[in-house]
């Protein structure tokens, strides 16, 4: 029996949920429905990963070993014991404990979960889909206030969108290797010895599609592994579904770095699923990805503060361990699809420990680039994202990038997005094979795996993972010609200019020059 003695409770900071605009209640949640929630805990008292990243990664160019990370940043056994006691008091069971990830998974009925965390659950409908949801904050016993940092899985509303665009009229199209050639990717090596992790929140792939696709390109198919996260798995369905995203990501990354292993992490499209997928990839000691590609996201305003906080902590771990994370910045211009008249940037691309990937329109009639401008066919529905973060302050490595103030009221000074760019316009899109047929797709979803493939090639050539790449890229001098500077176009609120801009970042890659510039830094000798 649960302890019925009243306990002093406190709102869990950052856990507040709002009703999704346009959603409505359709009924109560079955009180006997089984729910599993992830309770996240603090790191060892006195630890400061962000400070250590600045010391070891940024200044010394030395990644932490997994053993070093586990020693300093795992959860304490005392903290775990207190959460287990809490579970016992509220008729919950301990499903799993992960000391390194600092997570305790608790299971129980909807009624028990609601009582334990002081919330009321309802079934909601939004855009013909139903989800289990809540509003307001979660509450925990005051004795856990300094221990528990986040609780995920109670609310299972969709969290993110995939950033793909279909070509709707005849225009230019490329295979990924053709784009890589235009961008001068290193022509020695094939990514052998590297692992590219890909985060997917739905859909799946068919092996015969991939075999046929790589065969038609005359490329040996890379080794592809799927990893199930929170019971989601490789589950291909129909055209124009999330299968399109999965195929695009695998085929771009895999054809650019066919010697690399491709590991696809399939997770539910919830904040809990997204976070679990990222953490699973980062802590995957079997496959050990050196670069992770994410083509899903949502405007910063669409996330709870606790979700952004814990995703940010996960990306800090990636940076500390020498793993590069690439993320698409969105396809709805500077609004990122939010209809409030303000500018927004997409998360996780806006995270300072992530390489934000923006989009261009790329044209080449004779095998060389003749025109590359900001992708903007429609500033509200077919244009690169980018802008200034409402959540993160300006990182030190952007100090010389002249990031403009936000166009929103208050003119906030913040983290500028994106960092880099690449071909994304569906009118100059990528030829991919999905569910048995060839089609042409664009969107910034294509740019994240494009950069992930390039980074796998760079890692192989350098003999060392580039890891947390952002601070290094912003130190490169213009005369290295590591980037094609995009100086024409806009995404509605922000315009291209010489140097960094809030549409295409530092620009699209000049791969061979980028490799030479990285070697010249001396960090990889």
| pLDDT tens string 223-279 | 999 999 999 999 998 766 899 999 999 999 999 999 999 999 999 999 999 999 999
Query: pLDDT value at position 242?
Result: 94
Least confident of 212-216, 361-365, 441-445: 361-365
In the block, tokens 């990243």 appear at 53
Active site residue 390: no
> What is the per-residue pLDDT for 159?
97
* Catalytic, out of 230, 249, 298, 390: 249
Choose, from 114, 335, 382, 445, the residue flagged as catalytic: 445
- Percent helix, strand, coil in the chain, to 5, is 30, 25, 45
pLDDT recorded at residue 240 = 61
Distances (CA, A) of 39 to 110, 125, 150, 252, 452: 16, 26, 6, 36, 31
pLDDT value at residue 1: 42
pLDDT average, residue stretch 309-332: 97
CA 345 to chain centre: 13
HSE toward the beta carbon, residue 166, CA cutoff 13 A: 11
Ordered structural domains, the chain, with CATH: 9-152 (no CATH), 161-520 (3.40.50.200)
CB 421 within 8 A of CB 438: no
User: Among 48-57, 97-106, 321-330, which is the least confidently predicted range?
Assistant: 48-57
What's the mean per-residue pLDDT of the chain?
95
State the pLDDT at residue 239: 61
Contacts (Cβ under 8 Å, ≥6 apart) of 22: 126, 127
What does the pLDDT average to over 49-61? 81
Instruction: Enumerate the H helices of 119-206 as residue ranges.
Output: 176-182
What is the residue-wise DSSP string for 450-469? HHHHHHHHHHHHHTS---S-
Is residue 55 classed as helix, strand or coil in its secondary structure? helix
The mean pLDDT value for 339-368 works out to: 95
pLDDT of 420 strictly over 90: yes
Q: What predicted TM-score, i.e. pTM, was given to this entire model?
A: 0.97
Of the candidate ranges 49-53, 212-216, 267-271, 386-390, the one whose mean pLDDT is the lowest? 49-53
Active-site entry in 36, 200, 245, 331: 245
Active site residue 445: yes
21 φ/ψ sector (left φ>0, alpha ψ -120 to 50, else beta) = beta
pLDDT for residue 403 is more than 50: yes
Output the pLDDT for position 41: 97
pLDDT of residue 169: 83
Residue 362 contacts residue 182 (beta carbons within 8 Å) = yes
Confidence of residue 47 (pLDDT cuts 50, 70, 90): confident
d(CA 480, CA 466): 18
Q: Tell me whether residue 271 is one of the annotated catalytic residues.
A: no
Confidence of residue 48 (pLDDT cuts 50, 70, 90): confident
Proportion of the chain above pLDDT 70, given as a percent = 98
d(CA 179, CA 361): 12
Task: Categorize the per-residue pLDDT at 5 as very low, low, confident or very high, splitting at 50, 70 and 90.
Answer: low
Q: Which two tokens stand for residue 227?
A: 């990893």
Residues 134 and 37: beta-carbon distance below 8 Å: no
Query: pLDDT grade, residue 2 (50/70/90)?
Result: very low
């Amino acid at each position: 029996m649960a302890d019925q003695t009243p306990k002093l409770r406190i709102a869990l900071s950052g856990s507040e949920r709002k009703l999704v605009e346009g959603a409505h209640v359709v009924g109560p949640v079955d009180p006997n429905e089984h729910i599993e929630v992830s309770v996240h805990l603090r790191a060892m008292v006195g630890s400061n990963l962000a400070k250590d990243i600045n010391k070891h990664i940024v200044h010394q160019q030395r990644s932490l070993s997994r053993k070093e990370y586990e020693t300093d940043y795992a959860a304490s056994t005392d903290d775990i014991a207190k959460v287990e006691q809490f579970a016992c008091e509220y008729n919950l069971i301990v499903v799993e404990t992960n000391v390194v990830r600092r997570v305790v998974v608790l299971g129980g009925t909807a009624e028990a979960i609601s009582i334990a965390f002081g919330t009321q659950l309802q079934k909601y409908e939004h855009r013909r889909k139903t989800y289990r949801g809540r509003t307001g904050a979660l509450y925990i016993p005051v004795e856990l206030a300094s221990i528990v940092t986040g609780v995920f899985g109670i609310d299972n509303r969709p969290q993110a969108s995939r950033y793909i665009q279909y070509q709707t009229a005849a225009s230019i199209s490329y295979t990924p290797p053709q784009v890589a050639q235009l961008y001068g990717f290193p022509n020695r090596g094939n990514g052998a010895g590297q692992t590219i992790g890909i985060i997917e929140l739905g859909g799946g792939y068919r092996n015969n599609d991939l075999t046929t696709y790589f065969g038609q390109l005359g490329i040996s198919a890379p080794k592809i592994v799927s990893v199930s996260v929170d019971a989601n798995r490789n589950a291909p369905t129909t055209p124009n579904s999330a299968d399109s995203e999965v195929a695009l990501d695998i085929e771009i990354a895999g054809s650019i770095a066919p010697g690399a292993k491709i590991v696809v992490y399939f997770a539910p499209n919830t904040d809990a699923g997204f976070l679990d997928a990222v953490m699973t990839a980062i802590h995957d000691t079997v496959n050990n990805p050196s670069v992770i590609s994410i083509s899903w996201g949502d405007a910063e305003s669409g996330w709870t503060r606790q979700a952004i906080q814990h995703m940010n902590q996960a990306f800090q771990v990636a940076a500390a361990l020498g793993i590069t994370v690439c993320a698409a910045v969105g396809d709805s211009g500077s609004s990122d699809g939010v209809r409030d008249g303000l500018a927004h940037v997409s998360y996780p691309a806006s995270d300072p420990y992530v390489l934000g990937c923006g989009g261009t329109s790329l044209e080449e009639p004779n095998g060389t680039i003749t025109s590359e401008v900001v992708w903007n066919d429609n500033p509200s529905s077919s244009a690169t994202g980018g802008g200034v973060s409402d959540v993160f302050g300006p990182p030190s490595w952007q100090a010389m990038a002249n990031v403009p103030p936000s166009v929103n009221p208050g003119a906030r000074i913040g983290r500028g997005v994106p960092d880099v760019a690449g071909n994304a316009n569906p009118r100059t899109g990528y030829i991919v094979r999905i569910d048995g047929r060839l089609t042409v797709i664009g969107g910034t979803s294509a740019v994240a795996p494009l950069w992930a493939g390039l980074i796998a090639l760079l890692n192989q050539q350098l003999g060392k993972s580039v890891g947390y790449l952002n601070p290094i890229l912003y130190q490169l001098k213009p005369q290295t010609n590591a980037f094609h500077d995009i100086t024409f176009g806009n995404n509605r609120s922000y315009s291209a200019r010489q140097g960094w801009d809030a549409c295409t970042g530092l620009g699209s890659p000049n791969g061979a020059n980028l490799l030479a510039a990285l070697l010249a830094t001396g960090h990889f000798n």
